[in-house]
Amino acid sequence: MENKIKVGIWGLGRAGNCMHISEIGKYSDMFEVVAGCDHDPSRLDAARTRCPNARFYLDSKEFLQDAEVELVTVATRSPDHVKHAIAAVEAGKMVLVEKPIAVTYEDALTLKALAEANPGKVYIRHNRRFESAFAHIRDIIRSGKLGHVFEIKLCRDSFQWRTDWQTIQSAGGGQLLNWGPHLVDHALQLLESPVKSCWSDLKLGAARGDAEDHVKIIFVGENKRVIDIEISGCAPIPESTYTVRGTRGSLVSRDSKIELKYLNPAMPEETAPASLDNPPLGGSFGGAMVPVWCEDVLTVAPAGGDDPTKMWVHLYNAIRKGIPYPITIEQAVEVVRWIDYVKKNSPVDDVR
């Protein structure tokens, strides 16, 4: 493909040096890394081994003056995302902003204004919107197999005595700004309703800084659906990544498998009314019908073939083909709005 998008990566840490370069390499017919920038020379050296034909800069002004760069991926530290996106757009570049797109709602609105003033220039890297299990589970929910879905739990659990800048509040650290944007985005999509209420709790249990490493958020939609989010760096026994409960069945998912237990689709629901009579001394608690269950174990395989790297395909199609990018600035700003709400209403409780 001759019409490759020429990419400059701003910030060559774990996101830029590892994720962005690797993912772009998977779509080398669509994208080419032609430049990179970081203030740490060792990061430039590491990137140079992976992209030997690219140019690398310590000076961001020189980087932004590179005429070959069409698209800048902003992968610097979280508090710098908005100002670096602004600088890139002002230099005439398109920009892909790594999560979190901003650390405050006010900054997110600044980015939104930038996007609105520069149509087709600002894109959001909420790549987990295309996570395979997320997409497959949405397919199952929409099929109606589980009946009316009333509760969904989203978990990302681990245990880490983490010591990097992502554990320090003043640097934009904490799980709320790390895994938080992904799972809050998932929650707002799965809620399928405006948020009616939000409860949250932030704790610090294992990380060595002062930022939260255990996050609980519960969203209740106007449709009464509940989304329960848990992100933890101090949970050595992890819960299922996804749990979905409906009136006709449930599912759980870990890694690449989805386990379902649901009522046989041909089976009607119990129609007998409840009674004030005593239940029988033996057997069930009443009701003439015995549930007939179906149980499946599925390998994650969404109908659309999604995986997180498919974000790059959508990005290429938006830039080169004019196909609307599926993650809007409004959706991304709403994610930051709720993260900011949680931060302001749930001080970090250090339980170490």
- Which pLDDT tens digits describe the chain residue by residue (352 residues)? 579 999 999 999 999 999 999 999 999 999 999 999 999 999 999 999 999 999 999 999 999 999 999 999 999 999 999 999 999 999 999 999 999 999 999 999 999 999 999 999 999 999 999 999 999 999 999 999 999 999 999 999 999 999 999 999 999 999 999 999 999 999 999 999 999 999 999 999 999 999 999 999 999 999 999 999 999 999 999 999 999 999 999 999 998 999 999 999 998 888 888 888 888 777 777 677 889 999 999 999 999 999 999 999 999 999 999 999 999 999 999 999 999 999 999 999 999 9
Pairing state of beta strands 5-10 and 122-125? unpaired
CATH of the domain at 28: 3.40.50.720
Are 268 and 221 members of one domain? yes
Are 57 and 189 members of one domain? no
Q: Domain boundary at 125, 140, 162, which?
A: 125
Are 59 and 184 members of one domain? no
Are 119 and 144 members of one domain? no
The stretches of the chain forming alpha helices (DSSP H) are 21-26, 41-50, 60-64, 81-90, 105-117, 132-143, 175-178, 180-191, 311-321, 329-345
- Tell me how many domains the chain contains: 2
Q: Specify the DSSP class assigned to residue 79.
A: G
Range of the domain at 106: 5-125
Are 63 and 101 members of one domain? yes
Are 237 and 298 members of one domain? yes
Q: Domain boundary at 106, 125, 144, which?
A: 125
pLDDT at 285: 74
Are 175 and 293 members of one domain? yes
Q: Which residue has the tokens 């809050």?
A: 184
